[in-house]
Amino acid sequence: MNTLSRSAALAAGARDVRAHYAANSGLWVMFAGLAVMFLPTFWGLVFISGLWVDDTHAHGPIVLTISLWLLWKRWREAPGLAGFKSAPALAWACFLVAASLYVPGRALDIIYFEAGAFVFALAGIVLMAGGVSLLNAVKFPLIFMIFMIPLPNSLVGPITEWMKLAVSNVTVDVLGWAGLPVAQAGVVITLGQYKLLVADACAGMRTLFMLEAFGILYLNLVHHKSTLRNVMLPILIIPISFTANVIRVIVLALITYYFGDEAGQGFLHGFAGIVLFLAGLLMMMGTDHLLRLLSGRLHAK
């Protein structure tokens, strides 16, 4: 190789290095801007409004953490990342949607607008960095991130009330079949000398959201090929969650009846919540096993 061609090759290599660092620096600037905009949002969800601390939305930080970890992992694993082409038009469309949600959400304290804007802004950065190819590689973490967005009370409230009443009805029926002295007035259960209020936490919305989120995460991680399992398991999580909450209320009612109100409202009350979630996970995995067997039999025919 002569001196001229060697100089040209070195110059081309230097341009590639400069372009690489320029692209990365621009990417880090966008991530820094994202952090500046949305750290107050997430701080408020935990320490100001407390939505991510209450029973219904406490899964939010877990979903966000898992989503960001999966996004980072799949971004790094994306094949041919250097060859991905940016899609600035689509990226700016996502930024525009994010701004149209963020501005009124921040100004009017509409938290589900504000948190939803984060997903679109992050999608815009992905499109700016690697276009549609990179977006396809990391689409699941972005979709999964939707589960962190707090739902409006106008939607959650009526569903919660209906589920509390349904849980109360089934609990009273089961305890009545067992021969215990039980009566009901709406969501208040009278068992012997004790009265138990089926509160919002016992309605099962938190369990439903968490099981639905982890069920979809589980399906994505294990890469099921069966359409039956992929469609039916998220649907069946709804009755699984309801059943788990009925079991929780029955257990707490029996603890209160036989060991007193202090036992029912003390440590065992919180412990019952942990047992509830574990029972829901076990039922979900058992249901998935049955669906796998059913799917295998259908394919064998």
Supply the pLDDT for residue 124. Answer: 95
Strand order in the sheet with 182-185: 182-185, 188-191, 194-197
Supply the pLDDT for residue 15. Answer: 47
- Give the C-alpha separation, 183 to 113, whole Å: 43
79 pLDDT more than 60: yes
Q: What is the pTM of this model?
A: 0.76
- Distances in Å between the alpha carbon of 240 and those of 27, 160, 292? 43, 16, 17
Unique residue bearing structure tokens 């999964």: 144
Q: How many CB atoms lie within 10 A of CB 11?
A: 10
- Give the C-alpha separation, 55 to 285, whole Å: 23
How far does CA 41 lie from the centroid of its chain? 17
39 pLDDT more than 90: yes
Question: 2 — phi, psi (to 5°)?
Answer: -80, 170
- Give the C-alpha separation, 266 to 272, whole Å: 10
Q: pLDDT band for position 59 (50/70/90)?
A: confident
3 state SS of 242: helix
Task: Specify whether 248 is catalytic.
Answer: yes
Q: How many CB atoms lie within 10 A of CB 215?
A: 23
How far does CA 230 lie from the centroid of its chain? 17
DSSP code of residue 49: S
pLDDT digits (tens, 9 = 90+) for 4-36: 454 554 444 444 434 444 456 678 888 899 999
Q: What angle do CA 277, 283, 285 make, to 5 degrees?
A: 105
CA proximity to 240, closest of 276, 270, 275? 276
Whether the Cβ atoms of residue 67 and residue 158 lie closer than 8 Å to each other: no
Pick the more confident residue, 65 or 204. 65
Residues 6+ apart with CB under 8 A from 31: 125
pLDDT digits (tens, 9 = 90+) for 107-152: 998 999 999 999 999 999 999 988 998 999 999 999 999 999 988 8
Domain ranges of the chain: 3-150, 154-300
Q: How many CB atoms lie within 10 A of CB 132?
A: 15
Unique residue bearing structure tokens 């939305």: 57
DSSP code of residue 186: T
- Give the C-alpha separation, 62 to 46, whole Å: 12
**Could you say which of 94, 202, 206, 229 is catalytic?**
202
